[in-house]
Protein backbone atom coordinates (compact mmCIF):
# COMPACT_ATOMS: atom_id res chain seq x y z
CA UNK A 1 0.00 0.00 0.00
CA UNK A 2 1.34 3.43 -0.91
CA UNK A 3 1.30 6.52 1.26
CA UNK A 4 -2.00 8.34 0.80
CA UNK A 5 -3.92 5.14 0.03
CA UNK A 6 -6.36 3.26 2.18
CA UNK A 7 -6.85 -0.51 2.22
CA UNK A 8 -8.95 -0.41 -0.97
CA UNK A 9 -6.31 1.46 -2.98
CA UNK A 10 -8.30 4.70 -2.94
CA UNK A 11 -6.86 8.04 -2.01
CA UNK A 12 -6.93 8.96 1.66
CA UNK A 13 -9.23 12.00 2.06
CA UNK A 14 -7.15 13.18 5.01
CA UNK A 15 -3.81 12.83 3.17
CA UNK A 16 -1.96 15.39 1.12
CA UNK A 17 -4.34 17.37 -1.07
CA UNK A 18 -2.05 17.37 -4.11
CA UNK A 19 -1.22 13.68 -3.95
CA UNK A 20 -4.84 12.83 -3.16
CA UNK A 21 -6.11 14.83 -6.16
CA UNK A 22 -3.53 13.33 -8.51
CA UNK A 23 -4.30 9.82 -7.29
CA UNK A 24 -8.06 10.40 -7.62
CA UNK A 25 -7.69 11.62 -11.21
CA UNK A 26 -5.43 8.66 -12.06
CA UNK A 27 -7.95 6.26 -10.51
CA UNK A 28 -10.77 7.85 -12.54
CA UNK A 29 -8.71 7.52 -15.74
CA UNK A 30 -8.21 3.82 -15.08
CA UNK A 31 -11.89 3.31 -14.25
CA UNK A 32 -13.11 5.13 -17.35
CA UNK A 33 -11.24 3.09 -20.02
CA UNK A 34 -13.02 4.15 -23.19
CA UNK A 35 -15.74 6.16 -21.44
CA UNK A 36 -15.83 9.91 -21.06
CA UNK A 37 -13.81 10.96 -18.00
CA UNK A 38 -15.54 13.30 -15.51
CA UNK A 39 -14.36 16.87 -15.68
CA UNK A 40 -11.72 18.04 -13.24
CA UNK A 41 -14.15 20.65 -11.91
CA UNK A 42 -16.71 17.96 -11.09
CA UNK A 43 -14.02 15.79 -9.46
CA UNK A 44 -12.77 18.75 -7.40
CA UNK A 45 -16.32 19.63 -6.32
CA UNK A 46 -16.94 16.00 -5.34
CA UNK A 47 -13.71 15.97 -3.32
CA UNK A 48 -14.68 19.22 -1.55
CA UNK A 49 -18.11 17.82 -0.70
CA UNK A 50 -16.49 14.66 0.57
CA UNK A 51 -14.05 16.66 2.69
CA UNK A 52 -16.87 18.84 4.00
CA UNK A 53 -18.88 15.73 4.93
CA UNK A 54 -15.90 14.20 6.70
CA UNK A 55 -15.31 17.39 8.67
CA UNK A 56 -18.99 17.50 9.66
CA UNK A 57 -18.83 13.86 10.78
CA UNK A 58 -15.59 14.56 12.65
CA UNK A 59 -17.24 17.49 14.49
CA UNK A 60 -20.24 15.30 15.37
CA UNK A 61 -17.89 12.58 16.61
CA UNK A 62 -15.99 15.03 18.81
CA UNK A 63 -19.23 16.47 20.19
CA UNK A 64 -20.64 13.03 20.97
CA UNK A 65 -17.44 11.91 22.70
CA UNK A 66 -17.46 15.06 24.84
CA UNK A 67 -21.08 14.35 25.76
CA UNK A 68 -20.17 10.80 26.75
CA UNK A 69 -17.24 12.08 28.80
CA UNK A 70 -19.46 14.55 30.68
CA UNK A 71 -22.00 11.82 31.45
CA UNK A 72 -19.27 9.50 32.74
CA UNK A 73 -17.95 12.28 35.00
CA UNK A 74 -21.46 12.81 36.42
CA UNK A 75 -21.77 9.06 37.04
CA UNK A 76 -18.41 8.98 38.80
CA UNK A 77 -19.55 11.82 41.08
CA UNK A 78 -22.82 10.04 41.82
CA UNK A 79 -21.04 6.77 42.65
CA UNK A 80 -18.54 8.59 44.84
CA UNK A 81 -21.39 10.28 46.70
CA UNK A 82 -23.19 6.98 47.06
CA UNK A 83 -20.03 5.41 48.50
CA UNK A 84 -19.00 8.21 50.84
CA UNK A 85 -22.42 9.31 52.05
CA UNK A 86 -24.71 6.34 51.52
CA UNK A 87 -22.65 3.21 52.02
CA UNK A 88 -20.42 4.47 54.83
CA UNK A 89 -23.43 5.82 56.70
CA UNK A 90 -25.30 2.53 56.18
CA UNK A 91 -22.32 0.57 57.51
CA UNK A 92 -22.06 2.75 60.62
CA UNK A 93 -25.78 2.39 61.29
CA UNK A 94 -25.72 -1.39 60.79
CA UNK A 95 -22.67 -1.72 63.04
CA UNK A 96 -24.51 0.34 65.66
CA UNK A 97 -27.36 -2.23 65.61
CA UNK A 98 -30.02 -0.15 63.81
CA UNK A 99 -32.80 -2.09 61.99
CA UNK A 100 -32.24 -2.52 58.23
CA UNK A 101 -35.57 -0.97 57.21
CA UNK A 102 -34.66 2.27 59.04
CA UNK A 103 -31.28 2.40 57.32
CA UNK A 104 -32.85 2.27 53.84
CA UNK A 105 -34.91 5.40 54.52
CA UNK A 106 -32.21 7.20 56.53
CA UNK A 107 -29.60 6.73 53.80
CA UNK A 108 -32.10 7.28 50.93
CA UNK A 109 -31.25 4.04 49.17
CA UNK A 110 -34.07 4.53 46.67
CA UNK A 111 -32.81 8.00 45.72
CA UNK A 112 -29.26 6.75 45.15
CA UNK A 113 -30.50 3.76 43.13
CA UNK A 114 -32.75 5.95 40.96
CA UNK A 115 -29.96 8.46 40.32
CA UNK A 116 -27.50 5.72 39.32
CA UNK A 117 -30.09 4.02 37.10
CA UNK A 118 -30.91 7.28 35.32
CA UNK A 119 -27.23 8.02 34.75
CA UNK A 120 -26.68 4.49 33.42
CA UNK A 121 -29.40 5.09 30.83
CA UNK A 122 -27.77 8.41 29.91
CA UNK A 123 -24.37 6.71 29.56
CA UNK A 124 -25.83 4.02 27.31
CA UNK A 125 -27.48 6.62 25.08
CA UNK A 126 -24.34 8.78 24.96
CA UNK A 127 -22.19 5.72 24.19
CA UNK A 128 -24.54 4.78 21.35
CA UNK A 129 -24.35 8.32 19.89
CA UNK A 130 -20.55 8.35 20.15
CA UNK A 131 -20.22 4.89 18.62
CA UNK A 132 -22.58 5.77 15.75
CA UNK A 133 -20.62 8.97 15.06
CA UNK A 134 -17.31 7.08 15.07
CA UNK A 135 -18.69 4.41 12.72
CA UNK A 136 -20.04 7.03 10.31
CA UNK A 137 -16.75 8.94 10.30
CA UNK A 138 -14.68 5.80 9.72
CA UNK A 139 -16.99 4.72 6.87
CA UNK A 140 -16.80 8.18 5.26
CA UNK A 141 -13.01 8.00 5.48
CA UNK A 142 -13.15 4.79 3.44
CA UNK A 143 -12.84 2.12 6.13
CA UNK A 144 -14.85 -1.00 5.31
CA UNK A 145 -17.71 -2.11 7.55
CA UNK A 146 -15.81 -5.32 8.29
CA UNK A 147 -12.70 -3.40 9.38
CA UNK A 148 -14.74 -1.08 11.60
CA UNK A 149 -16.48 -4.08 13.14
CA UNK A 150 -13.17 -5.86 13.81
CA UNK A 151 -11.64 -2.77 15.41
CA UNK A 152 -14.64 -2.29 17.74
CA UNK A 153 -15.29 -5.97 18.42
CA UNK A 154 -18.86 -5.87 17.09
CA UNK A 155 -20.66 -7.46 14.14
CA UNK A 156 -20.47 -6.03 10.63
CA UNK A 157 -24.27 -6.00 10.59
CA UNK A 158 -24.35 -3.74 13.67
CA UNK A 159 -21.88 -1.34 12.05
CA UNK A 160 -23.91 -1.29 8.84
CA UNK A 161 -27.16 -0.64 10.72
CA UNK A 162 -25.64 2.16 12.83
CA UNK A 163 -24.02 3.85 9.82
CA UNK A 164 -27.45 3.98 8.17
CA UNK A 165 -29.13 5.39 11.32
CA UNK A 166 -30.07 9.04 10.95
CA UNK A 167 -28.29 11.43 13.24
CA UNK A 168 -30.93 13.00 15.52
CA UNK A 169 -31.31 16.73 15.05
CA UNK A 170 -29.68 16.79 11.60
CA UNK A 171 -31.50 16.62 8.28
CA UNK A 172 -30.11 14.44 5.53
CA UNK A 173 -28.37 16.51 2.85
- Per residue in 41-96, pLDDT tens? 444 444 555 888 999 999 999 999 999 999 999 999 999 999 888 899 999 999 99
Asked, for residue 62, whether it belongs to a domain, the answer is yes
Please give the tally of structural domains in the chain.
Answer: 2
Shared domain for 31 and 61, answered yes or no, is no
Burial status of residue 52 (CB atoms within 10 A of its CB: 0-12, 13-18, 19 or more): exposed
Shared domain for 153 and 80, answered yes or no, is yes
Shared domain for 68 and 94, answered yes or no, is yes
pTM to 2 decimals? 0.65
Shared domain for 15 and 92, answered yes or no, is no
Closest CA to 142 of 33, 3, 1, 9: 9
Domain that holds residue 7: 1-38
Shared domain for 92 and 13, answered yes or no, is no
pLDDT band at 168 (very low <50, low <70, confident <90, very high): confident
Amino acid sequence: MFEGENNRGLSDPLGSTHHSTVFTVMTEVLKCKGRAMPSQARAAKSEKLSSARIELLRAESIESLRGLQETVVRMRRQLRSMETVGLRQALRLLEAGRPAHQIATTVDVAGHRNAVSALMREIQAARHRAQRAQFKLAAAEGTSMADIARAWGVSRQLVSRMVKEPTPGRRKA
